[in-house]
A and B are shown apart, each in its own frame.
Chain A
């Protein structure tokens, strides 16, 4: 089922489901700490060293794709120390 492409949370949920079903066990054993870009269009995955290089490579491999970035073996992809310290999540929109 195609997720709502205007809702980032829906895209992320679809991609996380693909990742957990197809890639998580293998990637956490082989690529801990690296980044995986999951293409929700064709369920493919691209692994890289940094978030920027992984997304760039994923776009080169799949120009029409829409990707969710996952940091392999981590609960969140990025940490933000300062800007959102006192901001409720709904304020980002």
Chain B
């Protein structure tokens, strides 16, 4: 587990942390909830940039949440085969990396996105629709950081104005 960085910058723009797991994959600790606010599960989810959608959640985690069912979706696996799964509505809240003490968060820093949850798979996967819904830039190196796009825009603007610095 990497040394945690600050969870949120003092200027109110949030930086989210993940971590690199033992297999070298980028992960986030998330809470998934449905229509009932007391039904939620905390899971370690892998960020899969090859996954085009929002969240895939194994049935063992999804069924107890009573997620509202939308219907079905086909998807193509990495080996080219095609399967069909149920899809439901769920809300994902990003939490500090597992093991770190929970800190009270001002409301505007809570990172919560609602989207279509594909029910199935062996482990929780976060896809590109989730990353876009957060409106953050994903950086993966020795650790995982999601940073406000506005911060990046400001940095780029500053670099353009002062190219020699």
Contacts and interface: CB of A to CB of B under 8 A. Distances in A.
Contacts of A37: 70-71
Contacts of B46: 82-83
Interface of A: 8-9, 11-12, 15, 37, 40, 50-52, 55-56, 58-59, 65-70, 75-85, 87, 89, 91-93
Contact of B77 (A65, A68, A80): A80
Contacts of B115: 50-52
Contact of A81 (B51, B82, B116, B129): B51
A89 B125 CA distance: 16
Centre residue among B74, B76, B82 by max chain A CB count within 10 A: B74
Given A15-B72, A67-B71, A76-B74, A55 B89 contact: yes
A55 B25 CA distance: 30
A72 to B, nearest CB: 13
Interface in B105-125: 114-116, 118, 120-123, 125
Centre residue among A52, A55, A67, A89 by max chain B CB count within 10 A: A52
- Taking residues whose C-beta sits less than 8 angstroms from the other chain, chain B's interface range is 35 or more
B150 interface: no
B81 interface: yes
A8 B76 contact: no
What 6 A-B pairs have minimum CB-CB distances, sorted nearest first? A81-B50, A76-B76, A67-B71, A52-B115, A78-B75, A92-B120
A69 B161 CA distance: 46
24 contacts: A15-B72, A40-B71, A52-B54, A52-B129, A52-B133, A55-B89, A56-B89, A58-B70, A59-B70, A66-B69, A69-B72, A76-B74, A77-B75, A78-B118, A78-B127, A79-B50, A79-B78, A80-B51, A80-B125, A82-B48, A83-B48, A84-B78, A87-B77, A93-B59
A50 B114 CA distance: 12
Nearest to B81: A89
Contacts of A84: 77-78, 83, 121-122
Contacts of B93: none
A59 B89 CA distance: 10
Centre residue among A40, A67, A78 by max chain B CB count within 10 A: A78
